[in-house]
Structure 1
């Protein structure tokens, strides 16, 4: 997310807060409740170049989130209970459920104590290849490669090109160009490019997952916690929509089998990696449903309504974004007002 977009979103959050729109419209925009998306919960490193910061929030902000949700009348529920209320189309109080993708160690160390204090259930979606310590998180490899060098040479499909990475601003510009150019193409090309760039800069790509993610023994302990449900998140964390159906099905099913074998629990809930329209679509929703998962979540933004009773394998979530760790942004996200505005803008554009 560019600095301009961050400022634009924050301006919207501030305007909703300043005008009282969050409170005024929440009865119509909040729906039945929401599912929050989180990845890391940890103190910020302070790095000047941190393009993946959107994937982490500080422990204090998670605590503020739950405290503020309680003040606004939200009830913390399990994912099973959230799904039940969606199916029935009613909830006496707005509900909130927390989800954590990938299986990071800081969730156990820094998030779980906060959940215990608030008695807030959570689902931990485990990518089995991360737990094995064998899958490379390409987005971290790409970040570290750019951090370590002053220039990068790469062919993005139109011949070799050189990108400057000397200053922090140049690193962010190069990140944005490479990340979105690679994300828009085949995933095999993306992963190969990130792996090659990492190797050229002496980056051990598997170091990240071993350093950051819980292994199976650690996950076994966490799985016993009464507030934690273990969900599946594929084996190698692919963008499923970019792969043939048989590969997508195997990624989903094999991750569940690995979790069941190693932890003794059979996941009933699934999260699509990346989870936006480019990464998961109708075909993948059907696969998750056909495999017997009770729910599956995307990263498409939005609150839950009775209409989602027919879309339990394509549920939206609300991301706690590391760029917006303040009360104004939080109140807006909990109100549902920004998502109503986005839906309105889309309808206007379609009519235009």
Structure 2
């Protein structure tokens, strides 16, 4: 658990203990919130699960939607969320649900729960995952470390070695290597993980085939009631790490490809990874120039009226596997953890 997640975990506990999710809403709650989800599937085994933050259970999704409804909040599409920023409904807090990447379990496990609650949702599709040409490199890294008892890599900034015999050793190695590689150019990250996956006999293409939806399912999904398809680039790069021409192509061509495949307008975009090191002002401008109505980051926060002036840098709140509790959801919906994290600033678009 990194510093941000530890800070939020502590904030969730404190907010629950003091009841601040109730009395603090007037201070921190915005007009609404966009939730980020990735995988929705039954709980995996204990032990080494470094990407567990990207997974919630169907039961937790169901409990979250029940809580949202019980609080009298509105579940809305992204289109309606944008409308409410410019024409707010006083006293009507809204929640929009977004799913990144295009995973099979979104259809198998999430969709039935969403349909039960009549909840609209947006699926941000990376075309390269549907094509089976892009890489789920964070899953490759996990599976390689799971398979190996030790790691030896030569990186441009020096040698990396670690024992990975136990689950605890594997977790420590993953955390150190992941964040070390995240600081490198993306080509170095991908090359290093390919090297490690090769040592472990991991088939990168098989991971994508197992995890991601094929085009035929996506085509059927695109016409379903309550479902919005958004773009999530061609190959899931951290855009801010690349030259402008590359970033523009990833944004523009992903929109064109999806519109060709589905025969409908694609109005919304999600930046891969989406933190300040992966998407910044240049990329916000590129998404606007590409004709998207909005684009979403993973910067944590609620939506405020001022976000209507920055629709291509919208924050989201992660509904993730590290915080699967009612107390965490109540705190997230109150806005207080993000108000504290952002030091009282409601809008961060730079």
When normalised by structure 1's length, the TM-score is 0.95
Asked if residue 192 in structure 1 is aligned to residue 194 in structure 2, the reply is no
Aligned equivalent of 1:11: 10
> What secondary structure is seen at the aligned counterpart in 2 of 1:315?
coil
Query: Aligned partners of 1:13, 1:156: CA distance in 2, in Å?
Result: 38
Q: Which runs of 5+ in 2 are unaligned?
A: none
Query: Aligned partners of 2:5, 2:318: CA distance in 1, in Å?
Result: 14
Report the RMSD for the aligned CA atoms in angstroms.
Answer: 1.6
CA contact (8 A) 1:271 1:297 kept: yes
Q: What per-residue deviation string (whole Å, max 9, x for no partner) do you get for residues 51-93 of structure 1?
A: 0000010000001111101111210111111001112355440
> What secondary structure is seen at the aligned counterpart in 2 of 1:153?
strand
Aligned equivalent of 1:37: 36
Aligned equivalent of 1:26: 25
Query: Aligned partners of 1:265, 1:198: CA distance in 2, in Å?
Result: 38
| Equivalence map 1:208-223=2 (5 Å) | 208-223=207-222
| Equivalence map 1:1-352=2 (5 Å) | 1-2=1-2, 9-344=8-343
Query: Aligned partners of 1:326, 1:153: CA distance in 2, in Å?
Result: 38
> What secondary structure is seen at the aligned counterpart in 1 of 2:343?
helix
Q: What per-residue deviation string (whole Å, max 9, x for no partner) do you get for residues 242-268 of structure 1?
A: 001110010011111211222222311
CA contact (8 A) 2:8 2:337 kept: no
CA contact (8 A) 1:90 1:306 kept: no
Query: Aligned partners of 1:345, 1:286: CA distance in 2, in Å?
Result: 25
CA contact (8 A) 2:339 2:345 kept: no
Aligned residues: 346
Cα deviation for residue 156 of structure 1 reads 3.2
Cα deviation for residue 181 of structure 1 reads 0.5
Query: Aligned partners of 2:14, 2:91: CA distance in 1, in Å?
Result: 29
Query: Aligned partners of 1:308, 1:102: CA distance in 2, in Å?
Result: 24
Cα deviation for residue 9 of structure 1 reads 3.5
Query: Aligned partners of 1:8, 1:290: CA distance in 2, in Å?
Result: 36
Q: Which runs of 5+ in 1 are unaligned?
A: 348-352
> What secondary structure is seen at the aligned counterpart in 2 of 1:299?
coil
> What secondary structure is seen at the aligned counterpart in 1 of 2:63?
helix
Query: Aligned partners of 2:280, 2:216: CA distance in 1, in Å?
Result: 33
CA contact (8 A) 2:137 2:190 kept: yes
Query: Aligned partners of 1:345, 1:310: CA distance in 2, in Å?
Result: 19
Query: Aligned partners of 2:185, 2:143: CA distance in 1, in Å?
Result: 22
> What secondary structure is seen at the aligned counterpart in 2 of 1:344?
coil
